[in-house]
Copies of this chain bind each other. A is one copy, B any other.
């Protein structure tokens, strides 16, 4: 799947992933009203609104981008109906040929991590049968519990040719509280990065590993260091746009081959119509606004990479 992701990045010339992190306040009123008219102001109504909203965006941008990253929390908040909308979104994006990165940040120990891995990437056995649960292509994994928590995911990745992105240095302001603490003079995130490189050796694609890392765009200097520590790990970079990261901050996340990173934008794309810059599209044109925002982001990143020379 890492090879497929790279092929799609090369084909679209866009190392971009669109974060499908729907919040009700982003959903245009015409979609919200139609969903509530059908299902009422219920969890089912919210889930339907989210699904229709996603579908519009995916239809508008799917030819421009290699991948999407639905954030499961934004669906899970609506309980079971929300998770049904998550599952539908994953399936629809795959039908459209997109690589789907489930941003689930799961992580537990032994058999419990195995259950998450099976439920999100692999197949679960039921009697003599087996079934995919959510069936994403990649998922994000929290490393706090150590190798026991990560290796069950790697095992399923090997079987299914899928992948993970391990949280190394997250984009939020307080990420340093634990991740930056110095261990023998070295920040914890570097130690986690070293582990990612080590875990990644166990499942290599053609040029990159199935085990990638999450490093926030808001920390470009750390990105430069981690890029060197994990040369074969693809880096999923959140924090571009709404969180403050800019194209110029991103160049150090890429390798010399122009690969090795994929930049996420969520709000900046999916709620573009709410920005002054794209206000002319209006609520009715929210999907077209998202398309314009993807094109602008693509140009910003390409210019930054070209300026690197």
Residues of chain A at the chain B interface (Cβ within 8 Å): 21, 23-24, 32, 36, 41-43, 45-46, 71, 73-74, 76-80, 82-84, 87, 105-113, 115-116, 118-120, 124-129, 131-134, 142-149, 167, 170-179, 181-184, 188, 191-192, 195
Residues in B whose Cβ lies below 8 Å from that of A23: 111
Residues in B whose Cβ lies below 8 Å from that of A46: 124, 126
Are B116 and A73 neighbours in the complex by a CB distance under 8 Å?
yes
CB distance from A184 to the nearest CB of B (A): 8
Are A78 and B124 neighbours in the complex by a CB distance under 8 Å?
yes
Are B172 and A133 neighbours in the complex by a CB distance under 8 Å?
no
Are A144 and B146 neighbours in the complex by a CB distance under 8 Å?
no
Are B36 and A144 neighbours in the complex by a CB distance under 8 Å?
no
With A42-B126, A46-B126, A195-B177 already in contact, the answer to whether A77 and B145 are too (CB < 8 A) is no
Are A115 and B74 neighbours in the complex by a CB distance under 8 Å?
yes
Are A177 and B142 neighbours in the complex by a CB distance under 8 Å?
no
With A74-B112, A105-B108 already in contact, the answer to whether A119 and B79 are too (CB < 8 A) is yes
Which among B32, B112, B129, B170 is the interface contact of A21 at CB below 8 angstroms?
B112
CB distance from A107 to the nearest CB of B (A): 7
With A144-B144, A178-B188, A191-B178 already in contact, the answer to whether A77 and B115 are too (CB < 8 A) is yes
Are B172 and A110 neighbours in the complex by a CB distance under 8 Å?
yes
CB distance from A111 to the nearest CB of B (A): 7
Stoichiometry, as copies per complex, reads 2
Cα distance A85–B266 in the bound complex, in angstroms: 31
CB distance from A180 to the nearest CB of B (A): 9
Are B170 and A118 neighbours in the complex by a CB distance under 8 Å?
no
Chain B residue with minimal CB distance to A174?
B146
Are B79 and A131 neighbours in the complex by a CB distance under 8 Å?
yes
Cα distance A36–B46 in the bound complex, in angstroms: 33
Cα distance A126–B32 in the bound complex, in angstroms: 10
Cα distance A41–B106 in the bound complex, in angstroms: 27
Cα distance A21–B167 in the bound complex, in angstroms: 26
Are B131 and A43 neighbours in the complex by a CB distance under 8 Å?
yes
Are A181 and B172 neighbours in the complex by a CB distance under 8 Å?
no
Cα distance A147–B170 in the bound complex, in angstroms: 12
Are B192 and A178 neighbours in the complex by a CB distance under 8 Å?
yes
Are B42 and A118 neighbours in the complex by a CB distance under 8 Å?
no
Residues in B whose Cβ lies below 8 Å from that of A79: 87, 119, 124, 131-134
For this complex, 27 residue pairs linking A to B, each with C-beta atoms less than 8 Å apart, are A41-B128, A42-B131, A71-B108, A71-B112, A71-B115, A73-B113, A74-B112, A76-B119, A76-B120, A78-B124, A78-B133, A79-B87, A79-B119, A79-B131, A80-B84, A80-B87, A110-B172, A144-B144, A144-B167, A144-B178, A145-B175, A146-B172, A146-B178, A148-B174, A148-B175, A181-B183, A181-B191
